[in-house]
Amino acid sequence: MKFEILTIFPEVIECYIKHGVVGKALEKGIAEVKIYNLRNYTRDKHKKVDDYPYGGGVGMVMQIEPFYNALKQIKKDRKPRKVILLSPQGKRFTQGVAKDFLEEGKGIVLICGRYEGIDDRIKTLIDEEISIGDYVLSGGELPALVIIDSILRLIPGALGDDLSAKEDSFMKGVLDYPHYTRPDEFKGMRVPEVLISGDHKKIALWRRKEALRSTLNSRPDLLKNLSTDDMKILKELCSEINKKILEGSHEPVNY
């Protein structure tokens, strides 16, 4: 899969993609990341890509021309691509969206804005707007890296073990279960006995129950379209919580 990034800070992208899962995926040839420095696509002799906003106001606005020129260059090969503008106004990026992008099988162009934003005429050049959350960042580079990382993890061969991606939070509709490793006891804190019992059936049940417990406590909004078995586990968890509340050993939980 090919990712193409339009930015005025290529070094930010270059630094991240050398390491970890992304770096290994690129080394294996599983994916490709190409970076376009927008300053190379402006006719201004000082490589300026921004100007004062029409109508007045604070800050600077990125000009449409560098983006237009860069996209024109990118699209010369006529290969199918999805052009994405990273912005607070966009659709929320989720694990499901990451899977959809991968399944579409198209290359992805990620447009990174800066300053007060981009000339709104950019919207005539894009396919979609995406937001990674309801907060403000200094630019689109971090969201671009978030999207690349999350999609790459789903590509077979990107991780050391392809099962790792399938066990990630949100992949099964709920948050992940707790993880433990050696030593089995540390400063009086013990690993749950079931995990060192060798009984894989009990371990699988424990993990699912703890995943549902974590989701119930932290993200109850995710508890939708559960299986009959999950609903049974959820009822048990609710009974446990109610019992602890009655005993005064647990704070009330909204669910």
Q: Choose the catalytic residue: 100, 116, 128, 184.
A: 116
Are the CB atoms for 243 and 237 separated by under 8 Å?
Answer: no
Q: Choose the catalytic residue: 141, 153, 210, 213.
A: 153
Query: Is position 156 annotated as part of the catalytic site?
Result: no
Q: How far apart are CA 85 and CA 99, in angstroms?
A: 18
Q: Residue 247 corresponds to which tokens in the numbers above?
A: 């005993």
Query: Is position 127 annotated as part of the catalytic site?
Result: no
What phi, psi does 128 have (nearest 5°)?
-160, 150
Helix (H) or strand (E) holding 89: strand 81-92
Q: Choose the catalytic residue: 65, 149, 168, 176.
A: 168
Q: How far apart are CA 180 and CA 90, in angstroms?
A: 37
Query: Is position 167 annotated as part of the catalytic site?
Result: no
Q: Choose the catalytic residue: 88, 167, 176, 207.
A: 88
Query: Is position 92 annotated as part of the catalytic site?
Result: no
The SS3 call for residue 78 is coil
What phi, psi does 33 have (nearest 5°)?
-125, 120
Are the CB atoms for 174 and 229 separated by under 8 Å?
Answer: no
The SS3 call for residue 9 is coil
Instruction: Give the β-pairing of 107-111 and 2-7.
Output: parallel
Among all residues, which ones are annotated catalytic? 88, 116, 153, 168
